[in-house]
Structure 1
Amino acid sequence: MTALALARSWRPKTFSELIGQDHVVKALTHALDQGRLHHAWLFTGTRGVGKTTISRIMAKALNCTGADGSGKMTSEPCGKCPACMEIDAGRFVDYIEMDAASNRGVDDIASLLEKAAYAPSSGRYKVYMIDEVHMLTNHAFNAMLKTLEEPPEHVKFILATTDPQKIPVTILSRCLQFNLKQMPVPLIVEHLEKVLAAEKVDYEVNALRVLAKAAQGSMRDALSLTDQAIAYAAGKVTEESVRGMLGTLDDAYLIRILDCLIAKDGATLLAVANEMGERSMSFSLALQDLSSLLQKIAAAQVVPESVLDDWPEAPEIRRLAGQLTKEEAQLFYQITITSRPDLSLAPDEQTGFAMTLLRMLAFRPGSSAGSVSGSAPSAPPVNTARPVSTSPAAPANRSAPAAPAPSAPKASAQAPVAAPAPATQTTPANTGPVDRPDWHGLMRQLPVRGLVQQLAFQTELQDWNDSPNGIKAVVVTPMPQLASDSSIARLADALTAHFGKTVKVVIEKGEVEGKTVAKVDAQIHQEKRLNAEQMIAADPFIQQLEKEFGAKVVGGSVKPL
């Protein structure tokens, strides 16, 4: 006799056996215990998280009669009465499962609704379960609206879908919606341990962890992959056999890749890529696993306690978190995830993967040039990431050591390799006193936009006090509604960055004596408009039109370019 698949033999039969959907179980059990049942439920979620399973458990709970045949509706179906046994066996006449992917037309729904009018044959309720309900046509949805809103008392509808966005709101408003969660990796591992222990199959916990990650939140996929792993290993389910079956990457390769990037060892880096190609590993999954590892490293740099001791790679994650800078971890992660779609554009996946590694080697946050094994040391860091300089105009710069950073921190985006840029690109700190500035010219220079710029353009400097503790600028504005706390703080931050010392901005309401930036701009615009109107009025062609046809230039319609 053929063995039953794990996903089928280990399908939960009661709510207590259901894993990872406690929020749904709690709501449904309370409704069953209190007898407050809705007539339609909608279960949403990715594949293999329990939508059909919950539907069958609900059908048993609604129709269970108990082992003695006198039981009532319950949240704990007995599993022994005829209704429970027939639902588990898939032959209960009053529980109808319909696949909307293959029965999506209005005729299919009309036939179903016609049968719904009749009383159940043997059960307490007729339960209609429509799977992948989003596949129904618009006409089919419209046909079931009235029945779904006011079905017969003996009918319950259970709808399931992986794409609730495609369901009309008129259907959603008639159902109680439950969103089923994806299964986390630890929960899947824990369940697989129970399953394999009951099946008397030896296993390695790390192998189950690899299977859980490959399942991507689906318990059914995890059980199906476990079935495949048992057959593949022909004995103990080991991490090596599982990785060989899935074509996934051993974490040792990922650690070697990051070590080569830290050491700037390009030769070994390419050798690792070639070795992976010889073993026919999936480079797309390799980038996926590498991005996952980099995320854990970045999290460990910010929150060290996020690294769990039971992780087999925990010591390596902590070591790499100390050797990589936060900026490098972020940049490598970004390169990794953005390179996965490019693999299909490369001549082959191995070439695309190798170029991704070289890209991570070539780019460094805060360096004007990267370096590989045997090349010159890189220049002092700047605040931007740019690729290795390979300009043929200065070959000597690639073999000679970089010159020391100049004392004047003048940043240049086009500087050669031997001419390093400053640590930041802001105005240098000003230790001496700052004279009273040209306020209007200063407001035009500040890199502010939106409401902050409008506030800056509507102000006039009233008092400027420079002290060792910082600068206090008292300004007056006729439009205090622009002076919100956030706008004042952002204006003060921009001034602080400009002068290199703390600037406190105090806004006072009042009329300005001089001319604000906004007034100057308005006056210039007015002068341009007047000049344009005078030019139009003096134009011979316009004068001829006015003379011969009585034409007239509409006032205010002339706008300067």
Structure 2
Amino acid sequence: MTDAGAPPNSDSAGQAGFSLGAQPGTPYRVLARKYRPSSFDDLIGQEAVVRTVSNAFETGRIPQAWILTGVRGVGKTTTARILARALNYEMPDGSVKGPTVHMPTLGVHCQAIMESRHMDVLEMDAASHTGVDDVRQINDSVRYAPASARYKVYIIDEVHMLSTAAFNAFLKTLEEPPEHAKFVFATTEIRKVPVTVLSRCQRFDLRRVEADVLMKHLANIAAKENVEIEPEALGIIARAAEGSVRDSLSLLDQAIAHAAGTVKADAIRQMLGLADRTRVIDLFDSLARGDIAAAFKEFRDQYDVGADPIVVLSDLAEFVNFVTRVKIVPATADNVAYGETERVRARDFASKISMRVLSRMWQMLLKGITEVQAATRPAAAAEMVLVRIAYVADMPTPDEALRMLEQNGGGS
């Protein structure tokens, strides 16, 4: 990964995110900006997008408009800038004659494009420019040839925020733009974009990044920053980010500052208000055995050290889901994003607990989390949820109860 905003051949060591020897007065750059991808090789978890774009560039089948969609922090705006850079990639010696995805070094226009200051690559935030007048300005300017680059590229972020009139004003330009103009749209709400616009664009769905991929990415960045971090801590951050690279880097930034040294899993849990995963598993074990007294004690111990009742129940639901997935697909337990203890005990629970019990625990936890969120005393509400789960954990389902009655008569 390279710093998208760093000048060519610059030494980024002085910009280290955690360095006690940093030069005084050096402006700090957060990790999410410092390690922002500047080429397709730097994008992680988006292999399908990279392969499609690469094939399109190599065969000359470049569309006039792209629309990028996905959850926050997966690289929509970054990919749009990389596309603009690839479309306009030129070397000072003139060796590159057309668009290319192979950009080993910074070209003539690359630095300005990645810093959003190139006059031929225009970025617009549709959240603050929603009206038809803003689109009319684009329609007027698109007719003119680029000043210095190969293509005029219009990047419109959060395009779903445009008004209906603004979308309609875009249609003709999108359908028949000049040969020198390209459009790249980014949105988190693809369903709010009119189908008339979607039909004129090539759509790419940027997927959430898998937790194990995020862990490797975070480990590489931690090594570059000279920060020691436990593998379990990396797993906690990767899962908490829910597939968002930007969220994971923001959490890593916060964790480095919180730990002020070696980043340990316990420090991450304390920072995020999470309960110890081992203690969550112990709580699950008590509920599965129907031991409400042990479950109460474990929950209170976690609550007393600062764990949020809602977070405890959410972690418990996550572990129920993990055990269920291990029961259905045993290979799920090989995911390194989960700790060794979690994987070993999940296999053990999956072999002992029936699917009906797991399903019932999941349903009760989902309903219970909603109740705790609305309760004036969350801890007490959470305890009542645990009581319900423990008392019905080993109870038969209605169809099993009827079958037992039929087999044993009234004695059951």
Q: For this structure pair, what is the TM-score category when the shorter chain's length is used for normalisation?
A: 0.7 to 0.9
Contact 1:69/1:81 (CA < 8 Å) preserved in 2?
Answer: no
Amino acid at match of 1:12: P
Distance change >3 Å, CA 24–CA 309, structure 1 → 2: closer
Q: 1:112 maps to which residue?
A: 138
**Residues in 1 aligned to 2:183 and 2:325: alpha-carbon distance in whole angstroms:** 45
Distance change >3 Å, CA 406–CA 176, structure 1 → 2: closer
**Residues in 2 aligned to 1:164 and 1:239: alpha-carbon distance in whole angstroms:** 37
- Aligned to 1:103, which of 117, 129, 133? 129
**Residues in 2 aligned to 1:262 and 1:91: alpha-carbon distance in whole angstroms:** 59
Q: Are 1:46 and 2:46 counterparts?
A: no
Number of aligned residues: 382
**Residues in 2 aligned to 1:262 and 1:43: alpha-carbon distance in whole angstroms:** 44
Distance change >3 Å, CA 263–CA 197, structure 1 → 2: same
Q: 1:6 maps to which residue?
A: 31
Q: 1:178 maps to which residue?
A: 204
- Quote the offset at 1:357 in angstroms: 0.7
Q: What secondary structure is seen at the aligned counterpart in 2 of 1:85?
A: helix
- Quote the offset at 1:266 in angstroms: 1.7
Q: Percent identity?
A: 38
- Quote the offset at 1:70 in angstroms: 4.3
- Quote the offset at 1:90 in angstroms: 2.2
Contact 1:113/1:147 (CA < 8 Å) preserved in 2?
Answer: yes
Q: Are 1:320 and 2:346 counterparts?
A: no
1:497-536 residue pairs with structure 2 within 5 A?
Answer: none
**Residues in 2 aligned to 1:227 and 1:305: alpha-carbon distance in whole angstroms:** 32
**Residues in 2 aligned to 1:324 and 1:299: alpha-carbon distance in whole angstroms:** 13
Distance change >3 Å, CA 305–CA 26, structure 1 → 2: closer
Q: Are 1:36 and 2:56 counterparts?
A: no
- Aligned to 2:367, which of 332, 335, 338? 338
1:427-466 residue pairs with structure 2 within 5 A?
Answer: none
**Residues in 1 aligned to 2:55 and 2:243: alpha-carbon distance in whole angstroms:** 27
Contact 1:66/1:77 (CA < 8 Å) preserved in 2?
Answer: no
Q: 1:355 maps to which residue?
A: 384
1:299-448 residue pairs with structure 2 within 5 A?
Answer: 299-308=325-334, 310=336, 311-312=339-340, 313-364=342-393, 366-367=395-396, 383-384=400-401, 409-410=408-409, 421=412
- Quote the offset at 1:223 in angstroms: 0.7
Please tell me the root mean square deviation across aligned C-alpha atoms, in Å: 2.1
Contact 1:56/1:87 (CA < 8 Å) preserved in 2?
Answer: yes
Q: What secondary structure is seen at the aligned counterpart in 2 of 1:178?
A: strand
**Residues in 2 aligned to 1:205 and 1:120: alpha-carbon distance in whole angstroms:** 49
- Quote the offset at 1:321 in angstroms: 2.5
Q: 2:255 maps to which residue?
A: 229
Q: What secondary structure is seen at the aligned counterpart in 1 of 2:67?
A: strand
Which 4+ stretches in 1 moved above 6 angstroms? Answer: 405-408
- Quote the offset at 1:169 in angstroms: 0.8
Which has the higher mean CA deviation after the structures are superposed, 347-356 or 358-367? Answer: 358-367
**Residues in 1 aligned to 2:51 and 2:176: alpha-carbon distance in whole angstroms:** 26
1:418-464 superposed Cα distances (whole Å, 9 cap, x missing partner): x664xxxxxxxxxxxxxxxxxxxxxxxxxxxxxxxxxxxxxxxxxxx
Amino acid at match of 1:98: M
Residue segments in structure 2 that go unaligned for 5+ positions in a row: 1-25
Q: Are 1:57 and 2:82 counterparts?
A: yes
Contact 2:145/2:180 (CA < 8 Å) preserved in 1?
Answer: yes
Distance change >3 Å, CA 29–CA 280, structure 1 → 2: same
Amino acid at match of 1:17: D
Contact 1:97/1:129 (CA < 8 Å) preserved in 2?
Answer: yes
- Quote the offset at 1:345 in angstroms: 2.3
- Quote the offset at 1:86 in angstroms: 1.1
Residue segments in structure 1 that go unaligned for 5+ positions in a row: 369-380, 386-404, 411-418, 422-561
Distance change >3 Å, CA 407–CA 298, structure 1 → 2: closer
Q: 1:259 maps to which residue?
A: 285
Q: 2:272 maps to which residue?
A: 246
**Residues in 2 aligned to 1:420 and 1:366: alpha-carbon distance in whole angstroms:** 17
Contact 2:71/2:244 (CA < 8 Å) preserved in 1?
Answer: yes
- Quote the offset at 1:55 in angstroms: 0.8
Q: 2:96 maps to which residue?
A: 71
Instruction: Give 1 or 2 for the bigger CA radius of gyration.
Output: 1
- Quote the offset at 1:94 in angstroms: 0.7
More helix per residue: 1 or 2?
A: 2
**Residues in 1 aligned to 2:407 and 2:392: alpha-carbon distance in whole angstroms:** 25
1:191-202 residue pairs with structure 2 within 5 A?
Answer: 191-202=217-228
Length-normalised TM-score, structure 2: 0.87
